[in-house]
Amino acid sequence: MTSKLLNEPRKAAPNDKDDILMVIGSHKEAEWDKPIDKRYFDDFFKYPALFKTDNVYVVEESDRVVGVIGYSIDKYETQHYWLGWFYVHSDYCQKGYGKHLFYFLRKELKKLKVKKLFVDTSSDEFYKTALLWYIKLGFKLEAIIKKYYGQNEDQLILSIDL
């Protein structure tokens, strides 16, 4: 399922924040995501009690963070789990890190007896690679919210049974 050659992901620590943001920032087209992710990670590491049901993991290569993945829980309403912060540094794409991170997270969620994982993405052309990646991992389209991000940009909600 995952390569024995890749390091085991570990929980992210506050001193990983800049490295995580560097991983996200390695994707030049993801400029829109960077400020949102920065706000999240600023709060995540500053106020851990508020985010105790969220988890973020990183994977390293040669002591360098090269990938990040996490999940959060809709703690106020449905108790559904959502995939988030799923990035591999652009220099390390196509080397198995994304699949390695996803299967690690899936295993962690199964320990928690989570039955279904949701993710959302955009219909914008830039996110087509992410959409195809989610489908390849087994996610299925659940819903489309028209014009969610803008006049010509819908929100796509996908899920996978664990």
58 and 137 in a single domain? The answer is: no
Q: Are residues 43 and 110 in the same domain?
A: yes
Report pLDDT digits (tens) over 111-141: 999 999 999 999 998 889 899 999 999 999 9
In angstroms, the CA 131 to CA 101 distance is 17
Q: What is the mean pLDDT of the chain?
A: 92
**63 and 89 together in one domain:** yes
**Do 103 and 128 belong together in one domain?**
no
Fill in the amino acid letter for 32.
Answer: W
Residue 3 has pLDDT above 90, yes or no: no
Residues in the chain: 162
CA–CA separation, 1 and 16 (whole Å):
26
The verdict on 73 and 153 lying in the same domain is: no
Tell me: do 74 and 131 sit in the same domain: no
Question: Among 52-61, 63-72, 98-107, 121-130, whose mean pLDDT is lowest?
Answer: 121-130
Q: Phi-psi region for residue 36, left (φ > 0), alpha (ψ -120 to 50) or beta?
A: alpha
Residues 76, 155, single domain; the answer is no
* Contact criterion met (CB below 8 Å) for 145 and 157: yes
Same domain, yes or no: 135 and 101: no
pLDDT band at 55 (very low <50, low <70, confident <90, very high): very high
Q: What is the DSSP letter of 35?
A: H
73 plus 148 within the same structural domain = no
pLDDT by residue (tens digit) across 140-162? 999 999 999 999 999 999 999 99
* Residue 4 pLDDT greater than 60, yes or no: no
What are the backbone dihedrals phi and psi of residue 29, each rounded to the nearest 5 degrees, phi first?
Answer: -70, -15
Write out the residue range of the structural domain in which residue 70 sits.
Answer: 1-114
Regarding whether 66 and 6 lie in a shared domain, the answer is: yes
Q: In terms of domains, do 134 and 78 share one?
A: no
Residue ending a domain, among 98, 114, 130, is: 114
28-37, 51-60, 77-86: range with lowest mean pLDDT:
28-37
- Please give the tally of structural domains in the chain: 2
List, for residues 33-45, the tens digit of each pLDDT value: 788 889 999 999 9
- CATH number for the domain harbouring residue 73: 3.40.630.30
Pairing label, strands 140-150, 153-161: antiparallel
In 3D space, the residue among 21, 58, 64, 66 whose CA is nearest the CA of residue 39 turns out to be 21
CB atoms within 10 A of CB 32: 12
